[in-house]
Amino acid sequence: MSKVIIGMSGGVDSSVAAILLKRQGYEVIGLFMRNWDASLNNDILGNPTINNDVCPQEQDYLDALKVCEQIGIPLQRVDFVKEYWDYVFTYFLDELKKGRTPNPDIMCNKYIKFDMFAKEAYKLGADYIATGHYARIKDGKLLRAVDDNKDQTYFLSQLSNKQLEHVLFPIGDLEKSEVRKIAEEYNLVTAKKKDSTGICFIGERNFKGFLQNYLPNQPGDIVDIETNKVLGRHVGLMYYTIGQRRGLNIGTTDKIFVVGKDLDKNILYIAYGENNPYLVSTSCVVDQINWLSKDKPEKCTAKFRYRQKDNDVTLEYHDDYIIVRYPQGVKAVTPGQACVFYNGEECLGGGIIKEVRRDEKKLWYL
């Protein structure tokens, strides 16, 4: 009997993934990852940034433990707090300091869930590792999940083929509604548990209060990029991303969007209207390229953020970067986010957006 070590997150997806593995005849062992020190959740004044009697991470562990008891598999716990800090959180802070919008969940998958976790699983004698990600693997290819609305291949695009060799994604062929139904049939404690949202280590706690511990606020002007008129004050450039509409507190009912940042002058630029040309780019430079496919196409589709529709693109290859062109124009392409390439259902790989351009010229305000 093959042994599978499954990452139990305390959510419904990993719970049902474990059930499916048992149904398929595997010996299943759950492994819960502790990636964050809950004592770091307070704000700069020492006040909790989330109002819970039990730390969300500890509650997730208790839920995972209950599920494992319900379905009859053992659960072990492993501590990756230091590794998470070194490989994910430090990266997150460094990107924010550069005025970029990082995606730490992608780095968590690359360095923690499919590296540190996998090594720990193989120490326990695993033949395979499994997670509750919505994705599929077939004939060595990483494929989108059946449920396109929940597909998570975007977050798996920085993994290597070697990391995916012995990985199982049990729920990749299911719709989310089917996953919930199975959990309810087993009367799992996670059956109706809300899906986690937000950045992996911050979750739904007060982002600004939390981040002040590491990057002090530097308020500055909010400026209309077309008129150069000062419209208000921002609380710190790190809290805003390109395309953002909410939370600007300018006192207008007009549709306004963040279109750029000037780090040297500490200015946040906005523009009016969802079709404003300052929101649109026609190409970008992508580095930190990771290919899962052996083929490197000249044409394919790409996503520049999670749950975005596919965009037709052409690729121009250079030694350590790619110029991705989309002359039809795409809104809010953002430095620091992932650009992920697809050919139909197959995820070909991806990289990190370094520079955004319009009509081949760098957008200086990004």
Provide the pLDDT confidence category of residue 215 given band limits of 50, 70 and 90.
confident
Catalytic option among 68, 200, 284, 300: 200
Pairing label, strands 136-138, 27-34: unpaired
Q: What is the dihedral of CA 15, 19, 22, 27, to 10 degrees?
A: 10
Strands 338-343 and 346-358: antiparallel
Q: Cβ neighbours of residue 183 under 8 Å, at least 6 residues apart?
A: 12, 15, 16, 190, 191
**pTM metric for this prediction:** 0.92
Q: Is position 68 annotated as part of the catalytic site?
A: no
Q: What's the rounded mean pLDDT across residues 77-84?
A: 93
**Superfamily in which the 217-272 domain is placed by CATH:** Adenine nucleotide alpha hydrolases-like domains (2.30.30.280)
Distances from the Cα of 27 to the Cα of 152, 224, 234, 323, angstroms: 26, 60, 54, 46
* 69 Rama class: left (phi>0) / alpha (psi -120 to 50) / beta: alpha
* Buried-exposed string 74-108: b where 16+ CB fall within 10 A, e elsewhere: ebeebebeebbeebbbebbeebbeebbbbbbbbbb
Q: What pLDDT does 364 receive?
A: 61
State mean pLDDT over 84-109.
Answer: 93
Band of pLDDT at residue 274, cut at 50, 70 and 90: confident
Average pLDDT over residues 137-166: 96
| pLDDT band (50, 70, 90) for residue 204 | low
Nearest to 154 by CA among 320, 338, 287, 343: 338
* pLDDT(28) > 50: yes
Q: Please tell me the predicted confidence (pLDDT) of residue 54.
A: 54
The length of the chain in residues reads 366
Mean pLDDT of 111-139: 96
Helix/strand/coil (H/E/C) assignment for every residue in 296-341 = CCCEEEEECCCCCCCEEEEEEECCCCEEEEEEEEEECCCCCCEEEE
Mean pLDDT score, 239-263: 89
Is 50 exceeded by the pLDDT of residue 170? yes
- Name, of 38-52, 187-201, 309-323, the range with top average pLDDT: 309-323
Our answer to whether residue 300 is catalytic in this structure is: no
The structural domains of the chain, with segments of one domain joined by +, span 3-185, 217-272, 279-362
Per-residue DSSP letters for 96-119? HHTT----HHHHHIIIIIIIIHHH
Q: What is the CATH number of domain 279-362?
A: 2.40.30.10
Confidence band (pLDDT; 50, 70, 90) for 209? confident
Lowest mean pLDDT of 42-51, 163-172, 210-219, name the range.
42-51
281-290 pLDDT tens trace: 999 999 999 9
Give me the percent of the chain exceeding a pLDDT of 90.
Answer: 78
Choose the catalytic residue: 55, 68, 108, 347: 108
Residue 210 has pLDDT above 90, yes or no: no
Question: In the prediction, which pLDDT does 40 show?
Answer: 61
pLDDT for 303: 98
What are the tens digits of pLDDT across the range 312-355?
999 999 999 999 999 999 999 999 999 999 999 999 999 999 99
pLDDT tens-digit readout, 35-46: 887 666 554 444
- pLDDT attached to residue 41: 55
What is the CATH code for 3-185? 3.40.50.620
Q: Share the mean pLDDT of the chain.
A: 91
Q: Is residue 85 over pLDDT 60?
A: yes
